[in-house]
Amino acid sequence: MNQKWADILRSLHREHMHAVWEKAKERKLDELDEDDKQIAMIMLDHAADFHNQFEFADVTKEHEFSPEDEVNPFMHICLHLIVENQLAERNPPEVFQFYNAMMKKKCSRHEALHLIANILFPMIFQVQRLQKPFDLDRYRTLLKKMKNHAPEEIAEAVESELNEMGFFDELSMGPLETITSEVAKNNLDDLIDEIAGDGPPKILRSKSGGEAVLLSRGDYKFFVEEYTDDFSEFDELDEDEGLDAVGGRAITQLKPLPLNQNFGQIYRFRVTLEAVEPPIWRLIEVPETYTFWDLHVAIQDAMGWLDSHLHRFEMKNPASKKNQEIGIPGFDDREQNTVAGWQCLLADYFSLKNPKALYLYDFGDNWRHEIKLEGISKRANKQKYPCCLDGLRACPPEDCGGAKGYQDMLKILSNPKSKKYEETMEWLGKKYDPNFFDFKKVFFWDPRRRWSMVFEEKE
């Protein structure tokens, strides 16, 4: 978490969030700055749960939320704000890897966000309440370790791991002021008023050397309420609400994250169409942050396909050592084994030791493409990615009957005197030169826009 978010967190208070809510409920988002606009959007997403708390925040600012039966909606929004920005920026990268792992374990997006917040909260507690710097290394370590746990185990596992790291011992150490019990006794009322008035906690030291941390009641509830949240029960998706063709699951829960343009390396792939002669291939470069869905769109655009049929990748998963099918779950008999491509990062699968995948397009015509990672290198200055570097021959027409139908078509086109020549030319509907390809004319679509078009996402 950079200094920007630390400063925003320290500046947030209920009166400010109430002012944001007033704009949000009237849909006057254009009157807010970018940070407050994002807060407003998150508040609107949670309006069904926290409407009254948002509505009366200005007159209930002294209310202390009980950790036994209340959720602090304002801290909830703050955690959502940070987590969603970390995911959008994929910074640190471990946060997206954890999110990806939880989605594969059947969590909804909202559940995955809560699990990340559960890991994030102790770090935020240090920043906001103990005035300590954000411990990025510890946060990244926790994310790496927790992604291997089942979702219902994570709350307990985080607490156990932090305990082993000595985190809870550190809460009574560091930059906090240490006061002897004698001084505290003589100034107890002033000390309590200072801490209750949003002052930092104090370390109290007894004559025998024992130490304890004096927290305000609000700080104590803040910590207990957020850190001990129970994530062991996950709501099942409603089979009648928000369903789409993607595996019968709510499409909004599977929406891909925004494209991450903050990358330093690019992957170079050679895409070769199998079982056709003369050969048809493309050489493309894509960001290291790409998912398999993003690569699918880049392949479609570089080849010249129309993306009007289903697709699937088949590749060895380096983690399980087994073959993995990656595509769009729910459209064929393989749906139980197919992982959504927008949930899988190329970087988690491709390496120079694991460089090949099979890309199938149009399960009827069965177009098979060999995908080979040829190199990983630094991105070039002023180069837009993805990009096409080279290629050979035009893409076959859609629905021409697969490799065999394509080869038959080439024979017909090579002989204008053939009885089927005019019929074939009429079917093509335009001049088709199988030998022509200009890599400079390749246009790459935004893969998120393509996703919205395919699934008819409603904004």
pLDDT tens-digit map of 5-56: 555 555 567 778 888 888 888 888 888 888 788 888 888 877 777 777 888 7
Span of 221-230, 232-241, 272-281 with lowest mean pLDDT: 232-241
Which residues, 6 or more positions from 321, have their beta carbon under 8 angstroms from its beta carbon? none
**Hunting for tokens 């399960």 — which residue is that?**
363
CA separation for the pair 127, 198 (Å, rounded):
14
pLDDT tens figures, 149-162: 998 898 888 888 88
Q: Which of the listed CATH numbers 3.10.290.30, 1.10.3720.10, 2.70.170.10, 3.40.50.2000 matches domain 265-395+437-455?
A: 3.10.290.30
**Hunting for tokens 């910590």 — which residue is that?**
223
CA separation for the pair 419, 432 (Å, rounded):
18
Q: How far is CA 208 from CA 64, 160, 174, 424, in A?
A: 35, 29, 20, 96
Q: Is residue 114 pLDDT above 50, yes or no?
A: yes
Q: Is residue 362 pLDDT above 90, yes or no?
A: yes
State the span(s) of the chain assigned CATH 3.10.290.30: 265-395+437-455
CA separation for the pair 66, 313 (Å, rounded):
49
3-state secondary structure (DSSP) of residue 309: coil
Q: Is residue 238 pLDDT above 50, yes or no?
A: no
CA separation for the pair 310, 328 (Å, rounded):
8
Q: At residue 248, what are phi and psi to the nearest 5 degrees?
A: 70, 15
Give the pLDDT confidence score for residue 365 in this predicted structure. 93
Handedness of CA 126, 131, 137, 139 (dihedral sign): positive
DSSP 8-state class, residue 134: P
**Which secondary structure element, helix H or strand E, spans residue 455, and what is its range?**
helix 447-455
Q: Which residue has the higher pLDDT, 238 or 389?
A: 389
Neighbours of 287 (CB within 10 A): 21
CA separation for the pair 421, 137 (Å, rounded):
67
Give the pLDDT confidence score for residue 227 in this predicted structure. 42
pLDDT tens figures, 380-410: 988 999 999 999 999 999 989 999 999 999 9
Q: Is residue 243 pLDDT above 50, yes or no?
A: no
pLDDT tens figures, 161-218: 887 776 666 654 445 677 887 887 788 888 887 777 656 677 787 777 777 777 776 6
Give the pLDDT confidence score for residue 190 in this predicted structure. 81
Task: Find the mean pLDDT for residues 267-287.
Answer: 97
**Hunting for tokens 């990244």 — which residue is that?**
140
Give the pLDDT confidence score for residue 329 in this predicted structure. 83
Enter the tokens of residue 113: 């966000």
Task: Find the mean pLDDT for residues 288-299.
Answer: 95
Give the pLDDT confidence score for residue 368 in this predicted structure. 97
Give the pLDDT confidence score for residue 353 in this predicted structure. 93
Span of 56-65, 114-123, 382-391, 418-427 with lowest mean pLDDT: 56-65
**Hunting for tokens 């891909």 — which residue is that?**
256
CA separation for the pair 98, 148 (Å, rounded):
8
**Which secondary structure element, helix H or strand E, spans residue 214, and what is its range?**
strand 211-214
**Which secondary structure element, helix H or strand E, spans residue 424, and what is its range?**
helix 421-428
